[in-house]
């Protein structure tokens, strides 16, 4: 199992450009998440998905869009990139059934908007 | 909304010493989960230990243990016999009774440095 994979690892964008951060998991997890980590801060939830076709906003969704067309993939779309979106982005997944459900994290994407 | 507070931005100890990282949280829920994550320079988020709020017994994982004080809403991490490889950012995190279905709430982190 590759676990949770993210591409690209690094990216520099100009203000106003758009891009999609890719995330995939091969663990047959039903839940997937996107977090951002600003310098010196903990992770904050952007969006999450409970299954294919279903997404919901987290704490900081403005400026982002997501889709979940398959169980495996959960891309994050940035439209009109702004310097405030400079951050490290983490994708995570978990199998939510009953009780505790560990979240497995990808390696992160470092995004700089100049 | 839940909040998680880590009041120690940075800590430094000598190798083999014991160190305790502090975490407090605020919630109105009775059932929930608490976690400590380690983030080394590689950026990978690694689950160190978890605690279910309904369990009175403190969780332990080898050299890592927690002191969970539910009434005080305190959740500290103790690392015994610290090793150079323990150098990392440590994040305290909260999850509601759904087991994290709605995502985790993280503190700002503590940068732990283990000196040789």
Q: How far is CA A43 from CA A30, A49, A72, B37, in A?
A: 21, 17, 22, 11
Find all residues with CB under 8 Å of B92, minimum gap 6, and list them: B4, B6, B21, B23, B25, B34, B35, B36, B75, B77, B106, B107
CB pairs under 8 A between A and B: 64
CA distance B75 to B50: 10
| Average pLDDT for B91-99 | 82
Check if the beta carbon of residue B110 is closer than 8 Å to that of residue B8: yes
User: Do B101 and A40 count as a contact with CB atoms less than 8 A apart?
Assistant: no
Q: Kindly list the residues from chain B whose CB atom is less than 8 angstroms away from the CB atom of residue A107.
A: 42-44
Distance from CA of A99 to the nearest CA of B (A): 6
Tell me the average pLDDT of chain B: 93
Number of other CB atoms surrounding residue A95 within 10 Å? 14
Closest residue by Cα to residue B19 from B71, B67, B70, B52: B67
**In chain B, what percentage of residues exceed pLDDT 90?**
82
Check if the beta carbon of residue A102 is closer than 8 Å to that of residue B99: no
- The pLDDT value recorded for residue A95 is 87
For A55-99, the pLDDT digits (tens) are 999 999 999 999 999 999 999 999 899 999 999 999 999 988 776
User: Do A48 and B98 count as a contact with CB atoms less than 8 A apart?
Assistant: no
User: Residue A13: phi, psi to the nearest 5?
Assistant: -115, 155
Find all residues with CB under 8 Å of A14, minimum gap 6, and list them: A81, A113, A114
User: Do B104 and A58 count as a contact with CB atoms less than 8 A apart?
Assistant: no
| Average pLDDT for A9-29 | 96
Please say if the pLDDT value at position B97 is more than 90.
no
Q: How far is CA B8 from CA B19, B48, B90, B107, in A?
A: 12, 18, 10, 11
User: Do A48 and B103 count as a contact with CB atoms less than 8 A apart?
Assistant: yes
Nearest CB to B108 within list A35, A40, A101: A40
| Average pLDDT for A2-24 | 96
**In chain A, what percentage of residues exceed pLDDT 90?**
86
Q: How far is CA B37 from CA A50, A62, A98, B34, B45, in A?
A: 23, 26, 22, 10, 6
User: Do B100 and A90 count as a contact with CB atoms less than 8 A apart?
Assistant: no
User: Do B103 and A96 count as a contact with CB atoms less than 8 A apart?
Assistant: no
CA distance B69 to B50: 14
3-state SS, chain B, equals CCEEECCCCEEEEECCCCEEECCEEECCCCCEEEEEEEECCCCCCEEEEEEECCCCCCCEECCEEEEEECCCCEEEEEECCCCHHHCEEEEEEEEECCCCCCCCEECCCEEEEEEC
For B18-38, the pLDDT digits (tens) are 999 999 999 998 889 999 999
User: Do A42 and B99 count as a contact with CB atoms less than 8 A apart?
Assistant: no
Q: Kindly list the residues from chain A whose CB atom is less than 8 angstroms away from the CB atom of residue B106.
A: 42-44
Which of A:14-43 have CB within 8 Å of B?
A: 31, 33, 35, 40-43
């Amino acid at each position: 199992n590759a676990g949770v994979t993210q591409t690209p690892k690094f990216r520099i964008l100009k203000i106003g450009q758009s891009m999609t951060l890719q995330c995939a998991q091969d663990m047959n997890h039903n839940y997937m998440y996107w977090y951002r980590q600003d310098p010196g801060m903990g992770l904050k939830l952007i969006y999450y998905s409970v299954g294919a076709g279903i997404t919901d906003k987290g704490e900081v969704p403005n400026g982002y869009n997501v889709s979940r067309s398959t169980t495996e993939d959960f891309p994050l779309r940035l439209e009109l990139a702004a310097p405030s979106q400079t951050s490290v982005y983490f994708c995570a997944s978990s199998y939510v059934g009953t009780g505790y459900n560990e979240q497995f994290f990808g390696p992160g994407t470092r995004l700089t908007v100049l | 909304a839940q909040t998680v507070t880590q009041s120690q931005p940075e800590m430094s100890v000598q190798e083999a010493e014991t160190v305790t990282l502090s975490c407090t949280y605020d919630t109105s829920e009775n059932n929930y989960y608490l976690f400590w994550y380690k983030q080394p320079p590689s950026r990978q988020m690694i689950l160190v230990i978890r605690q279910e709020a309904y369990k009175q017994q403190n969780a332990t994982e080898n050299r890592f243990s927690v002191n969970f004080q539910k009434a005080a809403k305190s959740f500290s991490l103790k690392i015994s016999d610290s090793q150079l490889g323990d150098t990392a950012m440590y994040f305290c995190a909260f999850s509601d009774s759904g087991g994290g279905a709605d995502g985790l709430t993280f503190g700002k982190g503590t940068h732990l440095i283990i000196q040789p």
